[in-house]
Structure 1
Amino acid sequence: MVAVRKDLVIDKGSVFEVSVRMKDSNDAVVDLSGYTTQFEISKINDRAVVIADSVPTVDDDNWINVKLTDEETDEIPVGKYLYMINVQNPSGDKQRLFTGEITVRL
């Protein structure tokens, strides 16, 4: 499965929230019981430089919910970055679900 590309915007100093779902090739929602999730913001030209990260929650309807507090977004310098939402299944297989450019603005 190829990661979905979607660009996002964060207003510096404000709460940032986004929710996504993982679907299979038949467009059915994947049961994420036992999965772990990761959200990461890094420099576009150097993914090793992580600007911010968090562990999204997964609700009973299998929505992956990413949230950064106003304090967390205030720590991110204004600019353009790369973000990724990844999952890892109970067997340890990792998969990138969503990626794109994320702009932090005043």
Structure 2
Amino acid sequence: MDDRQRAVQARVHGKVQRVGYRLWARREAIGLGLVGWVRNERDGTVTTSIAGADAAVSTMIERLRQGPTGSSVSNVETEEFEVLDAPVDFRIIA
């Protein structure tokens, strides 16, 4: 069994605010057993920090590219970071 951990910060571009993207992302992340956070940015993007099993993080990145109904994702930029003190849950940051 592969239990490698991975952490990624992703910035999601497109029509991703005012479409329930943060609530959807939280629900998807929790369903995959991931921890982290998601927030709206002033420039209209959504940023999320996700950590957990490598395969689950990869799945979440693919889901971020699709987004919820009503969204239109044009690009997802990701940046890996070292898993140090990962949160214990997944939160929406206002």
TM-score over 0.5 (shorter chain): no
Q: Which has the larger radius of gyration?
A: 1
Structure (1/2) with the larger strand percentage: 1
Larger relative contact order, structure 1 or 2 (CA cutoff 8 Å, min sep 6)? 2
Structure (1/2) with the larger helix percentage: 2
TM-score (norm 2): 0.31
